[in-house]
Each structure stands twice: as C-alpha cells, then as structure tokens.
Structure 1
Amino acid sequence: MTFTGVVPKRRLGPGGPEVPVFALGSWNTWDRMAPPERRALMGRAVEVGAAFFDVAYYNMGPHAEASRTDLLFGETLRELGLARTDYQLCGKLWLWEYPEAGFAEQMRVSLDRIGAGRGGPESFETVVVGDFMGEIDIAQVVRDVQAEIDRGSFASWGVNNWPAEALQLALDTAAAERLTPPSFAQLKYGLVRRSMAEGEFYGGWCADGTLALQASDSFEGGILVGKLAPARKIGADVGGIRERIVAAYPEVERVATDFGATPAQLGLAFCLANPATANVLFGASRVAQLDDNLGAIGVLERVGPDAIRAATAGLWLDRDVRADGVWAP
C-alpha cells in the first residue's frame, strides 16, 4: 500500500529542529543512482514530508574515498529547483584530522560542494560531529562548534561515536561557558544493536531528555532486509557480531511476517517505538525502497510499541558489547 500521509515530526533534542522521523543518508547512496532515479527519490521525499537529508563529504580518515555522493546530491537539489524551505540538512564535521582540518574550512568545503553560491544551500540546520579517535581537546571542539553556530553555518549539533566521558565533558563545558550543547546522538541502533542507545551511558541521556537519539545503520548495511552478503562497504562491525546478525535474519523475517510487515518496516518501527528516537537515518536508492520504509509508520500505529518490543526481545545481539560509545574499526 502506497503511503499517502505526511511523515510525522519529532524534535531533534533540546534546542534542535523539528524533523521528520525519517532521514535519508548520503554515504554510498546518491552515487549508486542515475540522475532520473535521484530526482525521483528526492522528489518523493519532499512530497511526503521526509526531506531531511544527511549529507557529507567523505574524504577523511577511514572515509578517504573522494566520494562524489555529496556533489550529486547538490546537483539534484538544483535540478529539481527546490526552495530552501522544502528540505532540511544535516551535515558532518569530522574529527579524524582535527584540529589541523578545522571546522570553518570543513564547512566551507562541504557547503561549496553541494552548491552554496550556485543556487544551493548556504547553511545546514544541524551537524553531526564525529567520528572520535585518539586524544582530542573536547572543550575546544565545543568552542569551535559554537564559532560555526555564531557564523550561521548551522544552529544545533549532535555527536557520533563519542566515548561517554568525552560527551560528558562536552556537556559540562557547554554549561560552564554558556555554549550550545549537543542535542542529539547519532548511534548504531536497531533490532540487533541496542546496547549503546539503551545502555548505561547514552541510554541515560536519551531517557532524561538531555539528548535525542538519531538511529543509524539500523539495517546493518542491508543484512536485516535480506541482503545477507553486502557487496558494498558497510558500517563497522562493533563487537564482532556480524555472523550472528546474518544468522538472525530468518527470525527477523518471521516476526515481520507475523505483523504483516516487511523486514524493513519492522526494523524502522522498532526504532520509532523508543520514545527517545527523534528520527531514523537510512539509505534508499529507489522510490520503492522509500515507500516500503514509509510503511513502518502504519505498522507502529497498528501493532503498538509494546508488542513490537516484546516480539523482538530475543533479537538483541550486542548485550555484551561495550556500550560507552568507544569507536571500534
């Protein structure tokens, strides 16, 4: 059944924008489509009120790929002639080469690549600051983020793959110096990976409203929607549980069938069943994929969050994986 409503919105944490519960990612996404497919997908997202796009320049650290996905995204925005009010953007600030690669320069490059000054956006609504490795001056990160907020590059920010102690220091620094604190965390979260978002550290911040949760990699690179041997590069296998995830797919499919849903709809409905989840970030390369994902909204309404969590309790596979946010390659 084709989705005919408007995607609901939730606030992306204290001080964050109201955003649709679904966001479209850019990593290995826009560069897998032909121009007509890109235009159709972006147009459909605008049509249903799900035009919240995560977009970044992937050319640093382990993402030193010289990817063109952000260039293609910007081209598609301009081809469709979208007004700035038609969509929202979440950018990325990388810590891999920080502070040598400063935030001001990263913002300049990122905005230029998606078309600033050529009919494209001049700012983001929000950004994610990540990934975290090594020794970093967290207090200075918070100050440098504030400098970009003051410059008008974006209005709020979140974190990705930060150790718990570093995030606490960021929150403390923001409070002490009256700077803008992070309002959300982009975390691996879904049917099989729950420890970070629901565990001792991030789980507490999400539960008390300090941070909203932006769920990412919920399909484990496609494994949890039936692509059991992904051919493209996918996210890190934190805890080394990927073989167990592949083995669990038949159970995902069984539960989804019992609910009259697809595996993708079950996975997204699970994420949204957590009240801390502001939105779910996924990659889609076809309109049909997006439409299938949109069906998760109806599944959640029809089945209810309690029934979804009860039926999928046995799929939590990373219970014993450390949940303090430490990044693992």
Structure 2
Amino acid sequence: MLYRRLGDIEVPVLSLGSWNTWDRVDFQEAVVMIARAAELGCAFFDVAHYDMGPHAENSRTDVIFGKAVREAGLKREDWLYCGKLWLWEYPAKGFTQQLTRALDRVGAERADMVVVGDYFNTVDNERIVDDVAEQIDAGRFTTWGVNNWPYQDVRAAIDIARRRGLQPPRFAQLKYSLARRAMAEKYRSLFEANELALQASDVFEGGVLVGKLRPGRKIGADVGGIRNQIVAAWPRVDALAKELGGTPAQVAIAFCLANPHTSNVLMGVSRLAQLTENVRALELVERIPDTADLWLDKKEMEQ
C-alpha cells in the first residue's frame, strides 16, 4: 500500500466510504472486508451519521460499521476514522452535539479527522473555525477538512485560522473523477502551495464510471447536469480499461492517484472481490494516459 500525507496524518491512498455502503452489505461480508482492508494496509474509513438535510435517511450504516469493525477484531489504533460534521442544521445542532452522537453510534472515543460539509452560501467561517478548534482542543480529532466548499470560502477559513493561531482546514474532500475535475482545478493554487491536500470522492460517479449506467440507488448530486454525458462516455472508459489490462474501477482510481495532489481516494465497495480488485489500481497509476477527452465539466471553470 502507498501512503501520503493528509493534513498531519500519514494515510493509505485508498479508503472506504460509508454512504449507502454498510447498510446494503451482508454483515459477515462487511466483517471480512474490514479485516481484509487492515491486512492490505488500507484500514481507513470515512464514516458519517446521515441524519440532516438531504441525508436525513435514518441510515444505520455507521452503526453497522461500528459493530463490524469490532467483530473484525480491529483495535481502535488499527484503523483510521474520518468523520463528518454537518452544516445543514448548524449551529442549532453544534459540533459537540453532532460529534458526541456520531462517535457513540460508531462506538469510538475519537475520530482521527473530520470533514465539515455540506456547503451553504451563508457559511460563518469565523464560527466554524472556532468550533472546530474547540473540538480539536478537546482531543476529539486531530485535523480537519472541508467538503465541496467554493474556493473563496476555503481561502477565507485558512486565513482566519492562521490569523488567530488556530488549525486551518488541511484537506478538501471533493467530487473528483475522470469526468468531474472542475472543483479540484479551482483549488489548484491551494494544492500547489501545500495548503491543502485533495481527498477524492465520488470517483465512480455512483457506479456510472464502472458500467452501472442506471444506478438503482441514491447517488451523488449531478452538479452541472452532465450525468447523461458521463453515461455516453462510458464506452471510452471501458475501452481504456481494456487497453491498460485493468478494470474500469481500477482506471477510475488510478486516474485520481496519478494527480500528485491527491492524498487518498474514497471508494465504495460492497463485496470482498471489489476491494481486492480495486487495490490493484495501484499497478496502473504510472500508466494512465492523457484522458482530457473525458473531462466533461470544463464549463464549470468559467463560473
């Protein structure tokens, strides 16, 4: 397994997400996958409590994960935990309240890092930076990042934190894939200055980029309305995978990791075979060709 820096923490370049994952996996399969992830050196899990805004789904994915990681025999020091703090009902539901409940559901005393999201046009950067610092001081996590924030607000949060001697956001969890690159490109100056690292999410476009052209479950938002174009581009992705002697999933992951600013990739897996297959994406990173023809949201760069 390869490791890169994500904030102040050395992390494996592959990690497993939780949205619509653990609650649709056979429990024993989940236990086996978690144990195997530890054996492969990628026991890094993005685990959120989905209970606000569009994610108020009464999901038990985090509770199931917590039970499975214990059943797998992993001690807390054996795995990395990236949690979420939501802005949907913030500050009415403050970070202390949110994190207390999230940690309790997973059965952990602390996270290693958290992501603050989703974004709103009225983000109070001063308050967010203060409230995150309070949680860090309380020992509830070490470093933090943001989720799909516009560049100007991330820049503001970094500047506020530095001015006040507090920890700034150290990474950005962004939609980033063969097809969606605009937001990460808008962050390029922050990445190149080593002010932020990129954590790539939704790298399979809800399954579309691995051949599930009509996903039967809820998937991520279609920012910019380009999903039909992504579906139409699927034959090119499939052909590229065959050219490289890999799978579409491996190509999607390898593309993200070929970007030197990417610290790690969040991937959704529901079967052990998928996990084993996806780890082999590391073999393709050095061989990914120019895929400019698959970048389908370039027009977002103008906004």
Q: Same fold (TM over 0.5)?
A: yes
Cα distance in 2 for residues equivalent to 1:70 and 1:223 = 25
Cα distance in 2 for residues equivalent to 1:77 and 1:323 = 44
Letter of the 1:234 counterpart: I
**TM-score (normalizing by structure 1):** 0.90
Find the residue that maps to 1:321 and give its secondary structure: helix
2:32–2:72 CA contact under 8 A, matched in 1 = no
Question: 1:257: which partner in 2?
Answer: 242
Question: 1:11: which partner in 2?
Answer: 5
Is residue 294 of structure 2 the alignment partner of residue 315 of structure 1? yes
Residue 309 of structure 1: how far off its partner (Å): 4.1
Cα distance in 1 for residues equivalent to 2:188 and 2:181 = 9
Residue 86 of structure 1: how far off its partner (Å): 1.1
Query: Where does the alignment leave 5 or more consecutive residues of structure 2 unmatched?
Result: none
Q: Deviations over 1:112-169 (max 9, x none)?
A: 0011xxxxx2111100000011412111100000000000110000000212221111
Q: RMSD across aligned C-alpha pairs, in angstroms?
A: 1.1
Letter of the 2:259 counterpart: N
Cα distance in 2 for residues equivalent to 1:98 and 1:77 = 29
Question: 2:117: which partner in 1?
Answer: 130
Residue 313 of structure 1: how far off its partner (Å): 1.5
Cα distance in 1 for residues equivalent to 2:301 and 2:217 = 26
Question: 1:92: which partner in 2?
Answer: 84
Deviates more, 1:76-85 or 1:138-147: 76-85
Letter of the 1:8 counterpart: L
Question: 1:182: which partner in 2?
Answer: 169
Equivalent residue runs for 1:185-264 within 5 Å: 185-199=172-186, 202-264=187-249
2:35–2:73 CA contact under 8 A, matched in 1 = no
Is residue 45 of structure 2 the alignment partner of residue 48 of structure 1? no
Letter of the 1:195 counterpart: A
Is residue 257 of structure 2 the alignment partner of residue 272 of structure 1? yes
Find the residue that maps to 2:194 and give its secondary structure: coil
Cα distance in 2 for residues equivalent to 1:298 and 1:82 = 27
Find the residue that maps to 1:214 and give its secondary structure: strand
Q: Deviations over 1:215-241 (max 9, x none)?
A: 000110000000000000000000000
1:195–1:323 CA contact under 8 A, matched in 2 = no
Equivalent residue runs for 1:20-31 within 5 Å: 20-31=12-23
Deviates more, 1:204-213 or 1:215-224: 204-213
Find the residue that maps to 1:159 and give its secondary structure: strand
* Alignment match of 2:270 (pick from 285, 289, 300): 285
Question: 2:100: which partner in 1?
Answer: 108
Cα distance in 2 for residues equivalent to 1:204 and 1:233 = 33
Cα distance in 2 for residues equivalent to 1:163 and 1:132 = 8
Cα distance in 2 for residues equivalent to 1:267 and 1:92 = 24
Deviates more, 1:134-143 or 1:172-181: 134-143
1:196–1:323 CA contact under 8 A, matched in 2 = no
Letter of the 1:132 counterpart: Y
Cα distance in 2 for residues equivalent to 1:212 and 1:129 = 15
Question: 2:133: which partner in 1?
Answer: 146
Find the residue that maps to 2:84 and give its secondary structure: strand
Aligned identity (percent) is 56
Distance of aligned partners of 1:188 and 1:77 in 2 relative to their CA distance in 1, 3 Å threshold = same
Question: 2:49: which partner in 1?
Answer: 57
* Aligned residue pairs, count: 303
**TM-score (normalizing by structure 2):** 0.98
Query: Where does the alignment leave 5 or more consecutive residues of structure 1 unmatched?
Result: 1-6, 116-120, 325-329
Residue 179 of structure 1: how far off its partner (Å): 0.2
Letter of the 2:88 counterpart: W
